[in-house]
A and B are shown apart, each in its own frame.
Chain A
Amino acid sequence: MSTFFAVLLIAHVLFGLVGVMASFRVTFLLIKSTLPIPALIRASMYAFFSYLISWFSGGWYYWKHYGGVVKPKIVDGAFPWAHLVFMEAKEHVFLFMPFATLCIALVLWLKADALQQDPALRKKLMVLSFFVTLLAVIITLSGVLITGGAR
C-alpha cells in the first residue's frame, strides 16, 4: 500500500473515531438537566465535520485502492462475508451519518431555547443522538471485521 493510501486509511479511522466520541459527547450532554449549549454545538459540529472528513478520506481509499486490491482478497478468502455483508452494508449506512449529524447540529444551533425549555424535545434529540452514536459504533466494528477478513 502506498503512503498516500495509508494516510487516507489512517485519516478515515482517526476522524471516524473522533466522530464517534463527539456523537457520544452530544448524547451525554443532552441527558443533563441544564444543557450546556455552547459545548453541545461544538461537539455536534465536531461530529459532523469528522464524519465528513472520514467519508471523503475513506471514500477515496475505497474507490481507488480497496476495490482493486483488498476486496478480491476478502471475497476469495475464508471470510467473504466480511465484504459481501459488512462492507456492502457499511459503505451505504455510512452515508446516513452526515445528514443525521447535520440535523442534530442545526437543531442545537437554531433551537437551543426550545431545547432548554422543553424536556420532551430534548429527550427526542437525545434518542436520535444515541442511535447516531450506536450506528457509528456498528460502522466502526464493521470496519474491524472487514480489515480482519483481508488475509
Chain B
Amino acid sequence: MVLDKEICMRKDKIVQGTLVSASITLFFIVGITIAGELYKVADASGKMVNPIKDYLKALHGHHWVGKGIWAVALFIVLSVLFSLVLRPSTDGKRIGSMISALTVSLIVCTLAVYGFFTYEFLIAH
C-alpha cells in the first residue's frame, strides 16, 4: 500500500517534470533559432556572419543538428531536475494545467517560427 503510493507519487513527478521541460524546450528552440538568425556581426573582411549558427556548426557539423542536440540535452536535464524538485499533486488539476501550458507553448512557438521566417522573407524580397 505504501509502495503503491510511493510509485504513484513518482509517476506523477515524472509526468510533471517532462511536461514542464517540454514547454521550456520548445521556447528554447524558438529562442535559439530566432537569435541565430537575427544576431549578426561583421567579420574581419566586413562580411556579416551569424556567430550563433557558426558556433553550432563548428561544434556539431550543422547548426540544425546542434539545435537538436542542445534541445534534447536541455529536455533531459530539466526533466530530471523538475521530476526531483516538483511536489506530487493529489488531483489532476496541476497536470491538467501543465498539459494546457504545453498546448499553448506548441501553438505560440509554431506561429512564432512560421511567422518569423515569413516576415524575414517578405522584408528581404
- In the complex, A touching B (Cβ < 8 A): yes
Assembled-state Cα–Cα distance A139/B103 (Å): 17
CB distance from A57 to the nearest CB of B (A): 13
Interface of B is mostly: helix
Partner of B102, one of A67, A95, A128: A128
* Interface flags, B29-59, vs A, CB<8A=1, else 0: 1100100000000000000000000000000
Q: For chains A and B in complex, what number of residue pairs have CB atoms within 8 angstroms?
A: 112
Knowing A59-B65, A102-B22, say if A132 contacts B106 (CB, 8 Å). Answer: yes
Contacts of B116 on A, CB cut-off 8 Å?
A: 89
Q: Enumerate chain B residues within 8 angstroms of A107, measured Cβ to Cβ.
A: 15, 19, 95, 99
Q: Can you offer 22 A-B residue contacts whose CB atoms are under 8 A?
A: A59-B64, A62-B64, A80-B125, A89-B114, A91-B64, A92-B113, A93-B113, A95-B29, A99-B71, A102-B18, A103-B15, A103-B18, A103-B19, A103-B102, A106-B14, A107-B15, A107-B19, A110-B14, A121-B96, A127-B100, A131-B103, A131-B106
